[in-house]
Amino acid sequence: MLETIAIAAVVLTGALLAFAATKPHTFRLQRSITINAPPEKIFSLINDFKSWVAWSPWEKMDPALKRTYSGAAQGQRAVYEWNGNNQVGQGRMEITESAPSSRIKIQLDFFKPFEAHNTAEFSLAGRDGSTNVTWAMYGPQPFMMRIMGVFCSPERMVGPQFETGLASLKTISEK
């Protein structure tokens, strides 16, 4: 009986590893929303990390979150580091590109609860008094993350947070 259980465990583990090996080596997830406000107004809320306190979903997950700002006050070279509870972990963001009212690109580094290095990008496209905002995150998906992705994908882990953040950004921007 014990031998059968051990063989089954080895077979299941092998199947899991083989399945994870077929997963893509990179990932990309994104969400979009239309906000009834000009791109300039929305851009200023994203381009200044100090403004994220008002709309970022992760800011509300840990009231005791420790934040550090450095580099430029806003835009390219602005840096935001955080250290929080298990829900928000520890990490660092730096704006690497900032094209006024149209695009912001961020190097996003997580250190805890697991290490990951990704890119976040906001694209803003104004039209007829409103703005379509797309929030994307993409990067490498190492083998360990592909194994974890079998049980909980980045899409399921982060997608709802993006939706919450964009909804908050919409509420603030439309005031």
Which of 4-8, 51-55, 123-127, 129-133 shows the lowest per-residue confidence on average (mean pLDDT)? Answer: 4-8
Q: 101-155 pLDDT, tens per residue?
A: 999 999 999 999 888 899 999 999 999 989 999 999 998 776 567 667 666 666 7
Residue 134: its pLDDT value, please? 98
Other residues' Cβ atoms within 10 Å of the Cβ of residue 121: 18
pLDDT at 40 > cutoff 80:
yes
SS3 of 9-41: the string is HHHHHHHHHHHHHCCCCEEEEEEEEEECCCHHH
By three-state DSSP, how is residue 153 classified?
coil
